[in-house]
Structure 1
């Protein structure tokens, strides 16, 4: 993989006159530039590094300051007069170039173009490097300035910061370290996507929180990531406080996900395993697809980012493609993470009609990234309408597997009833004479045949409303009455659900465990009730 130093050395040897590096990490950028400029093996002719900032003016390689070069135009004039091999780094020029909505200074723009021409044809190698936290440049400079990507810190760099902080703070016994080698790797990976300064802040906060650095501090590092994700405006950092055990049923899907926990770690890579790409979960509405996305992020201890496709297509005409690239860049910077696309068919269904091909181009860039991504971004896409799914999305290589979530089996319904009723009975005002035993759960599961998980939850809520109206504990009759008064989706949308099952029969894997499927068939629901291949994991 080509590093920043490799790219910079090529550009310096090619005598590219003006470069632009977008980064908040000025110190890291200057350190990398200095390392390359002083390395004769990389640039043939070593060069001195001059640094200009609005506060210090133009500082020579020996640390002396060039008088009269405090203003941008004066600094560019001084850089233009240099007659020795040099790399001139300008840290604070972006305000004069129109960043932040300000008008660009015509004199500064003109001097930059003059300097680019002079450096390009001069007798000695000289290069000007603009370093700024924003990408804005005036259109007049588009052909004179070459953009250079500066990557965020690698895991090795972040691990070095972590180990240095551990060594500095354990020497005096100020903190206790309760991390094995894998725990340190998880903590360092959790900080990927942060600058070194942000990572150092996150580790420091974790250390002072309770005086112990352990695996639980990954959550504090994720909190630092939340700020970076929020700044992007395209992704939402979702709190994932739901355990996989809180998802009723879907044992086949849960086993598949549990086996892939930690596949982004070095141990799995050394075993020859790639990081998992993701899953597409389709099926009947209200049966736990979105809840599963939240649960897997919590189970794996990874941040959950939600991509709102509507935000990608919002804004100025022509900005959708850039928005998608920015969203992907933000997700990769936060890797390892879980990227959740809810109801993906509403964002990418329907092709490119009516919008001059914008939808098609955005969808195409997303598919290309899905196929070729190398960062540990696990994509969970959920869909209710299989007819709206483009065929390109369903072919192998995009997702590791496609799961179909059907209406819950009898065993799954009993599990869902237990989850929702027992959770409410923890409240003293709700608890009373009601005993949640096997007999009650079996009765409720039998009576709620054809109900989705969401409908069962609403039945529990409806029963609680009745109980609360009379200011008494919850009773069995409340639950039965709520069931009788509800018309489930399997009745109102029977034809639609049948069509969904038929589609999934040979195109998706059943999220329900085979033993639950067989038990439901023996109970009288009939074989073949569930769509999807009954594969065991």
Structure 2
């Protein structure tokens, strides 16, 4: 079996800082962490490393259940009561580090009143500890950060990082080595896949990562790249506890999205960019992408499919949950959401219809809360170094603050327009293939390229959501009459639909004009050229002015977005 999670070496930045603080004889330190064993092991490593700390020190542990115990588990007197424990430390005459676990309960908070005698005792001890010939440090560890005002100037807070990639990979490598010796679990992973599995566990504690690896091995007796899903399920527990972020489990794949090949190529080139192999090229982790355009054309669909392509967890940030009635809580909610996303990185953070959350940033009706939260988000987007890929979607371009679209926030801005004929054929093929499976429903109907070509021309101006719905409407026609599907059912559904390109023609023109200089088209150049060559709508005749077809014809030739191929 691998070593206990607490046996990690002292290599992280936080461990080096801790060593320097101990060497400088800071009397009181506070570490907020859930990983008691790992913290204790790191402290013990530091205490005996003369290269980090000149004077080796004994490490003692205090718990309210055991009192003060040494490394062998021997009790050091009747020290369960906090005052007696502090008196023992005050009189101790050998170099030592005392780790006080869950001592925060005497500091108040969470509905408890502080123990003022304990607080006073800590203040009384301060000078004596500093003047003691033998170096003595007290380290408080707790899952919660609770400090009484009386001690805020005396206690130094130390950030203790979650396990690094190297620490998690070391646990995985050791578990694989042990299981290979025993021969119980079949290991079917390449070095790169092993790296991806370890990367997927970032954000977990070592204990959580070890449990996830063990579960992945024993569920089917194999360990392969598909077990990344098991790791993501463990991460889902972290997300559920925040109440702000939502863990999205999507079965969608890129193959389920019709068209948008330019955007797909861009995303494909950035796949695996969080792996160590990308560092050879000096590549930073991609920041994110803003996808805007006509409603119903697949923005949310492709956002969900990135998760399966990259095999990364997908988190949805609901801006509405960020804002609440308590003063200052909205800013804290945003900090909490960002911190959680960074903790489980690499991951994808999806913000759907971002303009609805940040459209009122210039308004003073909320005493500037929206502006402060928005500024906090912008600063993080600009300066973040964590591997959190932000996918933001927007329908209403006018509602987007200009600061959001400045270079450096997102890597690229893509515009999703009405689907071209080639894209409509692909969308039709996807939805019809997905639903037409039963032989009695199919009957004599054949899904040929000629049928798709005919329907794609007929549904000129339809968005992807409308194409899906016309397939459903046609099937309802056949179901209502208890017969197999006919081509005429699809044609009738098209005729009975008034598309967005007609009802919102003016809005689409405005969106396209905006995108012509600010965004890159998600549709590749070859599809756009094919689209421009189309001469008519529906049956080949010119639509009558003011007719339903006229709206689609008006907006067809001025498509939005710069034509850059990736």
The normalised TM-score by structure 2 is 0.91
SS in 2 for 1:523: coil
Instruction: Mark the CA change 1:199 to 1:78 in structure 2 (over 3 Å): closer, same or farther.
Output: same
Q: CA separation in 2, counterparts of 1:174 and 1:162?
A: 16
Report Cα offsets for 1:223-263 as digits up to 9, x if no partner. 11111111122211101211111111101101111111111
Cα contact 1:99–1:134 (8 A) shared by 2: no
Q: What does residue 536 of structure 1 align with?
A: 565
Q: How does 1:43-82 map to 2 (within 5 A)?
A: 43-60=53-70, 63-82=73-92
SS in 2 for 1:375: coil
Q: CA separation in 1, counterparts of 2:513 and 2:525?
A: 18
Q: Which moved more, 1:482-491 or 1:376-385?
A: 482-491
Instruction: Mark the CA change 1:481 to 1:307 in structure 2 (over 3 Å): closer, same or farther.
Output: same
Q: CA separation in 2, counterparts of 1:138 and 1:486?
A: 66
Q: What does residue 449 of structure 1 align with?
A: 460
Cα contact 1:501–1:531 (8 A) shared by 2: yes
Cα contact 2:47–2:58 (8 A) shared by 1: yes
Instruction: Mark the CA change 1:428 to 1:312 in structure 2 (over 3 Å): closer, same or farther.
Output: farther
SS in 2 for 1:65: coil
Shift, 1:63, TM fit: 4.3
Shift, 1:43, TM fit: 2.9
Q: Which moved more, 1:319-328 or 1:290-299?
A: 319-328
Report Cα offsets for 1:14-63 as digits up to 9, x if no partner. 33221111111111101111222223332333322111112321013564
Q: Which moved more, 1:106-115 or 1:188-197?
A: 106-115
Q: Which one of the candidate residues 522, 527, 543 is aligned to 1:511?
A: 522
Instruction: Mark the CA change 1:259 to 1:437 in structure 2 (over 3 Å): closer, same or farther.
Output: same
Instruction: Mark the CA change 1:352 to 1:61 in structure 2 (over 3 Å): closer, same or farther.
Output: farther
Shift, 1:428, TM fit: 5.0
Q: What does residue 463 of structure 1 align with?
A: 474
SS in 2 for 1:236: strand
Cα contact 2:461–2:556 (8 A) shared by 1: no
Q: Which moved more, 1:281-290 or 1:28-37?
A: 28-37
Instruction: Mark the CA change 1:310 to 1:112 in structure 2 (over 3 Å): closer, same or farther.
Output: farther
Q: How does 1:124-523 map to 2 (within 5 A)?
A: 124-314=134-324, 316-353=326-363, 354-427=365-438, 430-523=441-534
Q: CA separation in 2, counterparts of 1:343 and 1:79?
A: 57
Q: Does 1:92 align with 2:121?
A: no
SS in 1 for 2:52: helix
Q: CA separation in 2, counterparts of 1:18 and 1:277?
A: 39
**In the comparison of the two structures, how many residue pairs are matched?**
537
Report Cα offsets for 1:371-429 as digits up to 9, x if no partner. 22222111111111111111111111111111000011111111111111111112456
Shift, 1:265, TM fit: 0.8
Shift, 1:195, TM fit: 0.5
Cα contact 1:86–1:127 (8 A) shared by 2: yes
Cα contact 2:15–2:160 (8 A) shared by 1: no
The normalised TM-score by structure 1 is 0.96
Q: CA separation in 2, counterparts of 1:506 and 1:491?
A: 24
Instruction: Mark the CA change 1:41 to 1:314 in structure 2 (over 3 Å): closer, same or farther.
Output: same
Q: Which moved more, 1:8-17 or 1:93-102?
A: 93-102
SS in 2 for 1:166: helix
Unaligned runs of 5+ in 1: none
Unaligned runs of 5+ in 2: 1-10, 536-552
Q: What does residue 15 of structure 1 align with?
A: 25
CA RMSD of aligned residues (A): 1.9
Q: CA separation in 2, counterparts of 1:478 and 1:462?
A: 8
Instruction: Mark the CA change 1:111 to 1:468 in structure 2 (over 3 Å): closer, same or farther.
Output: farther
Shift, 1:2, TM fit: 6.8
